[in-house]
Amino acid sequence: QNFIGYPAIIDEGDAVGVRILDTKEKADLQHEAGLSRLFQLQLRQEAKYILKNLPFSPESELAYNRLHKHPDLTRDIMSHSYKQDMLSLVISSVFVSGQNIRTEQQFEQCLQDNKAELINAANRIGEHAINALVLYTSIKKRVDQLPQKDKSVLDVQQQLARLFYQGFLTTTADEHLKHYPRYLKAIDARLQTMLQQPDKDQQKMQEMAKFQQWYWQSIDKRQKDELVNPERDSFRWMLEEFRVSLFAQQLKTAIPVSAKRLEKAWNSL
């Protein structure tokens, strides 16, 4: 009996190993984490420097350490500490994202091509994380003081929990993280009108509802056999942009988005 397997480099903490996995999705996710670890092991001095000199705020570290598990994912997300997770994100962004590294030669080439970018990236991404977490802290405080049984409030709490959860810095690429402050500002704008005009808010929520349901139900189904990372799905980010267009049009979206486009994107999946 033939067995189709997919090879992946596996993160083993102070080393990496190789394993054959039964699905491409599992192998891809594990391989990226393994590559990230391998680059960290090759760049020990640089990694030490980044951990020491990352843009840092005690407030953002505290907020990160207090986050809860992802509301929809059953698997545990590998998370260490705020600084360690930031380092993983920086290394992934510079060396792993968008690359297909399968040989030693490709690994060495990637190291050579991108090493000079490392410190700049650490500063940029460090700022993105701080901006997101500091803004999150103030908005979460406000949302927690609202009537928790209100449908709109529940919706906002769920949105926040899906953006900010234990280990989200290890699963969310910087290309998405940099938009977090805008998503939070859209929530802020929504909070200002939500309780004054509940009917209007719930009408907008309805426009969103079926897409949300389709997507998160599909995650629930997929994770029964797969290692799933929703942050890799472009549809998941279309949903966030659609929220901006519904609740805070003045903030502009990063991509053109509408109910019609979401429908089309979903049908082509």
Cβ atoms of residues 100 and 149 within 8 Å = no
- The per-residue pLDDT for range 158-188, each reduced to its tens digit, is 999 999 999 999 999 999 999 999 999 999 9
The model's confidence at residue 1, banded by pLDDT at 50, 70 and 90, is low
% of the chain surpassing 70 pLDDT: 99
* Alpha-carbon distance values, 259 to 154, 180, 201, 232, 236 (Å): 22, 21, 16, 21, 14
The model's confidence at residue 13, banded by pLDDT at 50, 70 and 90, is confident
% of the chain surpassing 90 pLDDT: 91
For residue 10, the cross-strand partners are 17
- Asked if the model's pLDDT at residue 3 lies above 80, the reply is no
Residue 78's CB: how many other CB atoms inside 10 A? 12
The model's confidence at residue 67, banded by pLDDT at 50, 70 and 90, is very high
pLDDT at 98: 87
The model's confidence at residue 120, banded by pLDDT at 50, 70 and 90, is very high
Cβ atoms of residues 56 and 133 within 8 Å = no
The model's confidence at residue 225, banded by pLDDT at 50, 70 and 90, is confident
- Asked if the model's pLDDT at residue 135 lies above 90, the reply is yes
Whole-angstrom Cα distance, residue 106 to residue 125? 25
Whole-angstrom Cα distance, residue 254 to residue 239? 12
